[in-house]
Structures are given as structure tokens and as C-alpha cells.
Amino acid sequence: GENVEQHPSTLSVQEGDSAVIKCTYSDSASNYFPWYKQELGKRPQLIIDIRSNVGEKKDQRIAVTLNKTAKHFSLHITETQPEDSAVYFCAASIRMTTDSWGKFQFGAGTQVVVTP
């Protein structure tokens, strides 16, 4: 089955700096890669996602890149702010059949701390 590795496990950045989180996946059939942000005691919140036919996607201060050949994808946060502090999870999923959508395999998570 799919295995997703995520690095680093913790990331401390100064406010205004950039943060980068990297994930690798094992199953070349994976075709969809979401990123979730989870604040303490709250639900995982989808912040950005990318499909396998796209190399890069950007939404304001957040961007995701995908390298299908190397089987890795990354989350980039620019101009970090204290409210970016949270645990970030990457995930990979395979659409197996028309009736079986999105069996997600999550990475272990990255605790991001943005210090003022």
C-alpha cells in the first residue's frame, strides 16, 4: 500500500520567514495530494491540494509543488504569521474505482511554530 513520509517533524520559523515541508510517497498510482492544517483541539482543515497532472499550485501565501518522477511534493508558506502555527499533514490518495474515492494515507505531521 501507499506510504507517505513527511519531514521535518517540527519546524520553528521567525515571523515573516518562509516555511517548507516535504513529503514523499511510494505508490506511483497516487493521483491527488492534499495538505491539511490542524490547530490544537480543532479539525484538520484543507488548505491546498494538487492533482497529479499539475506541477505547482499557489493560493496567496501558500504553494504546493509536485514532482511525480521523484514522487515527492512540498508545501511552501511565505511571509509566515503567528496564526500559521499548527500541525500540517500531507496526504496522498488513489482514486481506485468510480465507487471508491480517496483512500487517504497521511504523513506523520509537521509541528510548525512561528515566533513573533
Name the site residues for another protein (rule: CB under 8 A).
31-34, 36, 42-46, 49, 51-53, 87, 89, 93, 95, 99-104, 106-109
Select 37 or 84, whichever has its Cβ closest to another protein: 37
Nearest distance, CB of residue 79 and another protein, angstroms: 25
Nearest distance, CB of residue 106 and another protein, angstroms: 4
d(CA 18, CA 16): 7
Select 57 or 78, whichever has its Cβ closest to another protein: 57
Q: Peptide bond preceding 8: is omega within 30 degrees of 0, i.e. cis?
A: yes
Beta strand residue intervals within 8-102, DSSP E: 10-14, 19-25, 32-38, 45-51, 56-59, 62-67, 72-77, 86-94
Nearest distance, CB of residue 82 and another protein, angstroms: 21
Select 60 or 100, whichever has its Cβ closest to another protein: 100
